[in-house]
Structure 1
Amino acid sequence: MSKFDSIRPFYDAEANKAIRQIIDDPMMEAMMNFTFPHENPAHWKDLMRHTHSLRDFQINFIYPALMKVLEKSSDGLTTGGFEVLKPNTAYLYISNHRDIILDTSLLNACLYEKGLVMTTSAIGDNLIKKPFLHTLSRLNRNFAIRRGLSGRSLFESSLEVSEYIRKSLLNENRSVWTAQREGRTKDGNDITQKGVLKMLTLAEGGENPFGYFEKIQVVPVSISYEYDPTDSLKMPELLAKSRDEKYVKHENEDFVNLLRGIIGTKKRIHIQVNGILDKEIKAISSLDTTQSEKLTHLATLIDHKIWSGYKLWPSNYIAHDLLYGSETFSAEYAPAEKDAFEKRMTGKVDTSDPVLLKSFLSMYAYPVDNSLKAKEKS
């Protein structure tokens, strides 16, 4: 085995063999019949058998599948800020994380359409336990993050991931996507975990590991869904948290979340690139302070960049007004939009339970509060 075999995507030389292993899987057939509803399956299967690179697989199969998902379950995708990015250049994209598959898939679709380097993207190994999903994720250029580790095993795994990311960015000119925290944000309050940033520096070593961020190009990204397709599925975990109880996932819960994210209603979606943090990182690096404090400064900076890049939808403003019993943002939405949101809410959660109601509304309201914090900071 080579160094990163346990976590890396397939190499191009391995792509065709991997495709042939899953080409007749019922899940692949369902996925492609959804993507190409008017084509004879023999046609797309023949194309797959002649596919020999990850890029070709992504462009010819993953991209059209994603476009069909957008067509069927959203009111469209808009973007902003991509003009600051250059072709043939590797970036480390750090974004808020709401949906297991779509966040990184939508970003890659935008990068492809704009002629920019697509990413290799982090995914928790808990999400790809099924053999088909594990193979598909590696064909889609995902690298695995091992979950549930502690102690020495956690450190060794984190170091391996850090080294893989460094190699991708600096040696292979391959962009990388990672979430600002471990796992999705369930409550809508997008906060960068300093531990994620520390993990990124592990491969740097030496007396100034923070200097790693000066060698790469860090790009904060904001992803805004008008409706979170998995909002109601996040309620049990939020309820347990409110009771200070340990939340235990049900069998296949991650897979259900994955599917709901793909097929669930999203309405409008916006992806915003929030600049390249070159000057800001140099300023932090020059501070006469500890490595830990520099990471804290960077985490706060990324938070404010992501918050400032939100596209606030009527759903956010409606939830904020409902949560606080006000009409502060009533000019930002129409009565019909409020009625539609309330109808969706009552159909998804027991609104007679104050904890559930508050959790659901907060999920949509937090981006409004955080956006206001970012404006105060600027």
Structure 2
Amino acid sequence: MSEFEEIRPYYDTEVDQAIKEIIHHPMLKAMMNYTFPDKPDEYWMDLMVHCHSIRDFQINFIYPGIKKVLEISSSGLSTSGFEKLEKNTAYLFISNHRDIILDTSLLNAALYEHGLKMTTSAIGDNLVRKPFLRHLSRLTRNFTIKRGLPARELLESSKTVSAYIRYSLLRENRSVWIAQREGRTKDGNDVTHKGVLKMISMAGDSGEHFLDYFKRLNVVPVSISYEYDPTDVLKMPELLAKARQETYVKGENEDFHTLLNGIMGQKGNIHIHIGDPLNPAITKIGETHSGSVKQMQALADLIDRQIILGYELWPTKYIAADLLTGKETHGHYYSLEQKEKFMRRFEKIVDQKNPLAKESFLAMYANPVFNKERILKEINTQQ
């Protein structure tokens, strides 16, 4: 695994030393006091020094932490589709992406509760540059993707990441989570970037068709939906810059603030849906589309369709759609009380004198509604 040294999570044999590196860090103390509010520090510290594997660390510390996050800052997590997964099979989970930490943490909590293996997950190296966060990331079985590289270095880095994904899935029989695009979706449009698929395909055998390689990886789309995006207000500056066709430059520690807001901010209801394993549909792509460009686009479209159809449309989404269009087309999906609650949040965090800000915020919530309705209309037309 020497080729993966710069990006891989810790081995179990490295867990003891990694814990020694962080056990007295004030951020870990804050995390554990949040997770175990009624326990003295000696409780979790003793438990941690007897932790000797990544699985131990995840089950004893991360899983209780996620349960506490759900208890304090959400109305609960619901799931669907997990019965489609087989216990001893590794899957490539390609997911929409809303929150830096929670998306993968919640998926792994759900996998654990369903008796399934937890994933190794992709994370941008821009999020783990602080030594403590780097240790924590590797202790929770994340592998890093380097951001902002020159073209030649980006190609080599992509090859390494692709090879690691293959190694995890086909050699370790360990599922992998990766977002359908680089970075979190901020405008509510869940679109798979073909660049991500091309990167994954780099590790296929020489002469192997990329569709056949993807079938070996057992691709499964995942949809995660939050009733309230806990980082919606933090996404506004980038959305406004995009709307004005300006280049957005992140502020210092912006990613870290977003990470904390995602964990602590109110989320309402949350749902994770596991889509259908794609192998039969991938076979059909090979039969009905000619040329690698069209086939890659068809694969991206297939993933998009499953993610959008699996996305839970909470009342907040329908409310935003109606506010954006000025109609009450979806009024039967929400109550007056739910609308008033959404309006209070909307008016509190968005400058009501700025039409562009209002439109961008509402579109963030409404686009999943419009996208699902578009796809359902296409399906009905084809039938």
- Does the TM-score normalized on the shorter chain lie above 0.5? yes
One-letter code aligned to 2:30:
A
1:173–1:246 distance in 2 versus 1, CA, 3 Å: same
Pairwise mapping of residues 285-324 of structure 1 onto structure 2 (< 5 A)? Answer: 285-287=286-288, 289-324=290-325
Matched, 1:88 2:88: yes
Indicate the residue corresponding to 1:32 in structure 2.
32
- Contact persistence 1:94–1:179 (CA under 8 A): yes
- Contact persistence 1:305–1:374 (CA under 8 A): no
Mapped to 1, the partners of 2:19 and 2:315 lie a distance apart of: 42
Mapped to 1, the partners of 2:372 and 2:311 lie a distance apart of: 7
User: Partner of 2:356: helix, strand, or coil?
Assistant: helix
One-letter code aligned to 1:303:
D
- Contact persistence 2:352–2:358 (CA under 8 A): yes
CA RMSD between the two structures: 1.0
- Contact persistence 2:188–2:364 (CA under 8 A): yes
List gaps (5 residues or longer) in structure 2.
none
Indicate the residue corresponding to 1:332 in structure 2.
333
Mapped to 1, the partners of 2:75 and 2:309 lie a distance apart of: 23
Mapped to 1, the partners of 2:269 and 2:354 lie a distance apart of: 29
- Contact persistence 1:214–1:278 (CA under 8 A): yes
Mapped to 1, the partners of 2:202 and 2:183 lie a distance apart of: 20
Deviations 1:140-161 (A, max 9, x none): 0000000001311010000000
Indicate the residue corresponding to 2:371 in structure 1.
370
Matched, 1:221 2:209: no
Mapped to 1, the partners of 2:152 and 2:124 lie a distance apart of: 19
Mapped to 1, the partners of 2:333 and 2:142 lie a distance apart of: 38
Matched, 1:13 2:13: yes
One-letter code aligned to 2:375:
A
Mapped to 1, the partners of 2:205 and 2:378 lie a distance apart of: 32
Indicate the residue corresponding to 2:199 in structure 1.
199
Deviations 1:249-268 (A, max 9, x none): 00000000000000000000
Pairwise mapping of residues 133-172 of structure 1 onto structure 2 (< 5 A)? Answer: 133-172=133-172
State the 1:287 CA deviation.
4.2
* TM-score with structure 2 setting the length: 0.97
- Contact persistence 1:228–1:266 (CA under 8 A): yes
- Contact persistence 2:91–2:218 (CA under 8 A): yes
Moved more, 150-159 or 135-144: 150-159
User: Partner of 2:2: helix, strand, or coil?
Assistant: coil
State the 1:285 CA deviation.
2.6
State the 1:211 CA deviation.
2.1
State the 1:37 CA deviation.
0.6
State the 1:349 CA deviation.
1.0
Pairwise mapping of residues 12-161 of structure 1 onto structure 2 (< 5 A)? Answer: 12-161=12-161
State the 1:374 CA deviation.
2.3
Moved more, 239-248 or 170-179: 239-248
Indicate the residue corresponding to 2:282 in structure 1.
281
One-letter code aligned to 2:298:
H
User: Partner of 1:184: helix, strand, or coil?
Assistant: coil
* TM-score with structure 1 setting the length: 0.98
One-letter code aligned to 1:283:
K
State the 1:209 CA deviation.
2.8
Deviations 1:279-301 (A, max 9, x none): 00111133452222211000000
List gaps (5 residues or longer) in structure 1.
none
User: Partner of 1:121: helix, strand, or coil?
Assistant: strand
User: Partner of 1:3: helix, strand, or coil?
Assistant: helix
Mapped to 1, the partners of 2:244 and 2:367 lie a distance apart of: 20
One-letter code aligned to 1:308:
L
Mapped to 2, the partners of 1:135 and 1:149 lie a distance apart of: 23
User: Partner of 2:337: helix, strand, or coil?
Assistant: helix
Indicate the residue corresponding to 2:266 in structure 1.
265
Mapped to 2, the partners of 1:286 and 1:149 lie a distance apart of: 37
Moved more, 191-200 or 288-297: 288-297
User: Partner of 1:181: helix, strand, or coil?
Assistant: coil
Indicate the residue corresponding to 2:360 in structure 1.
359
One-letter code aligned to 2:72:
K
Mapped to 2, the partners of 1:296 and 1:109 lie a distance apart of: 32
- Contact persistence 2:317–2:365 (CA under 8 A): yes
- Contact persistence 1:34–1:65 (CA under 8 A): yes
Deviations 1:288-323 (A, max 9, x none): 522222110000001110111011111000000000
Matched, 1:230 2:231: yes
One-letter code aligned to 1:351:
Q
User: Partner of 2:39: helix, strand, or coil?
Assistant: coil
User: Partner of 2:123: helix, strand, or coil?
Assistant: strand
State the 1:377 CA deviation.
3.2
Mapped to 2, the partners of 1:190 and 1:67 lie a distance apart of: 27
User: Partner of 1:286: helix, strand, or coil?
Assistant: helix
- Contact persistence 1:210–1:291 (CA under 8 A): no
State the 1:244 CA deviation.
1.2
Moved more, 248-257 or 274-283: 274-283
- Percent identity between the two aligned chains: 60
Mapped to 1, the partners of 2:205 and 2:88 lie a distance apart of: 27
One-letter code aligned to 2:204:
E
